[in-house]
A and B are shown apart, each in its own frame.
Chain A
Amino acid sequence: ETGVTQTPRHLVMGMTNKKSLKCEQHLGHNAMYWYKQSAKKPLELMFVYSLEERVENNSVPSRFSPECPNSSHLFLHLHTLQPEDSALYLCASSQDTPRGRAGEQYFGPGTRLTVT
């Protein structure tokens, strides 16, 4: 595997289900990100784990819960979602430096989530 991989590629879940999205990067990067891409809306950054620190995003509902067990893996745990959460969820990674220089982001292929 190369680059950034995401599983599953497609997911249909009911509003009472609990599921998790998985992202793995094979680039040796030290930062990972979750984005939400909805129709007719700009790409929205949800969560960042950079240099082993999580950057909070208070605008994301608590029904989305990220987990980053190590620098190569990132999860997005989902529970009691709403139909408006249906979207493409993209994962990305980058190599950032402690001095604050941001590397370019490499994106995974995304998970298409449908909440019924």
Chain B
Amino acid sequence: AQTVTQSQPEMSVQEAETVTLSCTYDTSESDYYLFWYKQPPSRQMILVIRQEAYKQQNATENRFSVNFQKAAKSFSLKISDSQLGDAAMYFCAYRSPINRDDKIIFGKGTRLHILP
């Protein structure tokens, strides 16, 4: 069965610094999707970044980038130039291909604090 592990329940970073959130997963599939979602105190879940497993290039979205290591089954999120608005819970998620017993699994989350 697929699993997603976020080993850091909480992290803190100084404003304007860079922080990396870790995520590992387990699957026997070769084609799948990985996501990072952000949930601020408002509870609105917001997509941060998406990676398709068949793509070797790491996804980037402005200050957010991932380090996707398929062999190691690792999918870390790097936030550069951290801003106060980045404070939130961050969830890593795995999704299997739709036509293969659609599974969507979230990690337990990492609470990120931004220190002014």
Using CB atoms and an 8 Å cutoff, list the residues of chain A in contact with chain B. 33, 40-45, 48, 50-51, 55, 88, 90, 92, 96, 99-102, 104-107, 109-110
Contacts and interface: CB of A to CB of B under 8 A. Distances in A.
Query: Is chain A's interface secondary structure helix, strand, loop, or mixed overall?
Result: loop
Contacts of A33: 104
B45 A90 contact: yes
A30 to B, nearest CB: 11
A79 B50 CA distance: 36
Contact of B44 (A43, A99, A102, A107): A107
A100 B47 contact: no
B46 interface: yes
Interface residues of B, number: 26
Interface of B: 4, 33, 35, 37, 42-47, 50, 91, 93, 95, 97-100, 102-109
Contacts of A101: 97-98
Contacts of A50: 98, 102
A88 B43 contact: yes
Contact of A109 (B37, B43, B108): B43
Given A42-B105, A43-B93, 8 more contacts: A42-B109, A43-B106, A45-B103, A48-B102, A100-B99, A104-B35, A104-B50, A107-B44
